[in-house]
Structure 1
Amino acid sequence: MTISFQTWMQTVWISVTQPAEMAGKVLSMQFSRDVLWTALALVAVLNVLLLGVLQLISPMSADAPEQVITVSPFGYLAIIGAFLTFMIFMLVHAGRMMGGDGTIEGTLTLLVWFQAVSLTLEAMQVLLVLLSPAIAALFGLMSLGAIIWVFVNLVNVLHSFANLGKAIVVIFMALIGTVLGTGLVMGMLGITPPGAF
């Protein structure tokens, strides 16, 4: 199956405007766990590449270099990989604590899809930075709202909840566990925020 740029952008638009319906379609696709973990590794690498490009072209990186955490590409990849991995297991366990029925495979599938949509919006922001940093910043705020909306709906569908409230609680619980786990990984790698002792 060949996906054109126009088709992909239409799919991303539907994912943002109708996230619950798209989540159901994505979950209906049956992928092996190996394929899903490989896809997750790929989106982690793409995250690092886009982050590097954004830092290079952003005027803020030149104005306040002391505020930027200097990490090697491998370090960024380790952090993003750890974050995504912890998030998968935290979403599953937190969801089940709230009465959900999400699985590892389902969570992997939806998280990879969410990352693909998020990376598309991030790539658009990178292009906008070249045209106008102000417009790019505004687009970034709009994108943030959009991806939060998408993520809440994906988690809601994943665990078959009857309302978005439970999904929000699950995300909050999962984020706490994920941040703590990722913090441990950062500590093991010796990565600390600027000004930390």
Structure 2
Amino acid sequence: MTFDDFRALVRLTLRDPERGAHMLMGLNLPMVVRWMALLLAVSVSGLLAYLAAMLFPVPDAETPPMYSLVQQPLVMAGMQMVAIVIGAGLMTGVGRMFGGRGNFADALLLTVWIEVMLLLIQVAQIILSLALPALSGLLGLLAIAMFLWLTVQFTKALHGFASGPKVMLGLFATLLAMGFLLSFFAASFGLLPEMPQ
């Protein structure tokens, strides 16, 4: 894929995500290329997060609990890799439960492409933070909206679903279930803060 092809695919994804998803799946990339793309995407994401932490340090008094992960790009990349693989598995499994016909290989490719699109926002956010810090927070909200929008559109394309609202409902239900399970495991391993007495 040339740089012009990459730009064209980015534009198509923003203009018509379902067509972009079908174009990606139509490339019939070998599985090893999909895994390599995942590794590259999470590595770049971890480095960008580390760069942002170096450029815009947070005072110790205001440091959020997860901030230490940003300062460890390899750990960050590993966690993102696991999250993307789980996301691709859920996109495949939950979709098939509702009559979809998608497979894990294509789901992995689509979730990696979502990560690539978010990387573009991440780069823009770092640049904007240097020039207009007040507006950089808006890009964070845009990233969340883009993630949800692309996930819904790509899930429709992957499984051949017709209803966006139903896919969105399924996505929120899956996120809620995952949040409950993760909080349960975190509490079991003592990773959640203790409640004040």
Which TM bucket (shorter chain)? Answer: 0.7 to 0.9
2:3 and 2:181 mapped to 1: Cα distance?
Answer: 36
Give the conservation status (yes or no) of the 8 Å contact 1:98–1:166. no
State which of 34, 42, 60 in structure 2 corresponds to 1:36. 34
Matching residue of 1:161: 161
More contact order relative to length (CA 8 Å, sep ≥ 6): 1
1:15 and 1:2 mapped to 2: Cα distance?
Answer: 16
Pair 1:186–1:39, CA change in 2 (3 A)? farther
Matching residue of 2:64: 67
**Normalization by structure 1: what TM-score?**
0.81
Output one character per residue of 1:82-124: Cα deviation in whole Å (capped at 9) or x when no partner.
1111111111110011111110111011111111111111111
Give the conservation status (yes or no) of the 8 Å contact 1:88–1:107. yes
Matching residue of 2:109: 109
Letter in 1 for 2:14: V
- Alignment map for 1:1-197 (pairs within 5 Å): 1-4=1-4, 8-58=6-56, 61-62=58-59, 64-69=61-66, 70-71=68-69, 72-176=72-176, 179=179, 192=191, 196-197=193-194
Name whichever of 61-70 and 50-59 sits farther off: 61-70
Output one character per residue of 1:48-105: Cα deviation in whole Å (capped at 9) or x when no partner.
111112222336x237443242233332222212111111111111001111111011
For 1:101, what is the secondary structure of its paired residue?
Answer: coil
Pair 1:110–1:184, CA change in 2 (3 A)? farther
Letter in 2 for 1:38: M
2:183 and 2:81 mapped to 1: Cα distance?
Answer: 13
Residue 192 of structure 1, CA deviation: 4.5
Structure 2: stretches of 5+ with no match in the other structure? none
2:107 and 2:145 mapped to 1: Cα distance?
Answer: 21
Give the conservation status (yes or no) of the 8 Å contact 1:57–1:129. no
Letter in 1 for 2:21: A
Structure 1: stretches of 5+ with no match in the other structure? none
Kindly report the root-mean-square deviation, in angstroms, between the aligned alpha carbons of the 2 structures: 2.8
Residue 175 of structure 1, CA deviation: 3.0
Output one character per residue of 1:152-189: Cα deviation in whole Å (capped at 9) or x when no partner.
111111110011123213323443565567779989xx
Aligned length: 191
The share of aligned pairs that are identical, in percent, is 23
Name whichever of 136-145 and 99-108 sits farther off: 136-145
Pair 1:183–1:106, CA change in 2 (3 A)? farther
Residue 191 of structure 1, CA deviation: 9.9
Pair 1:52–1:98, CA change in 2 (3 A)? same
Pair 1:100–1:84, CA change in 2 (3 A)? same
Letter in 1 for 2:102: G
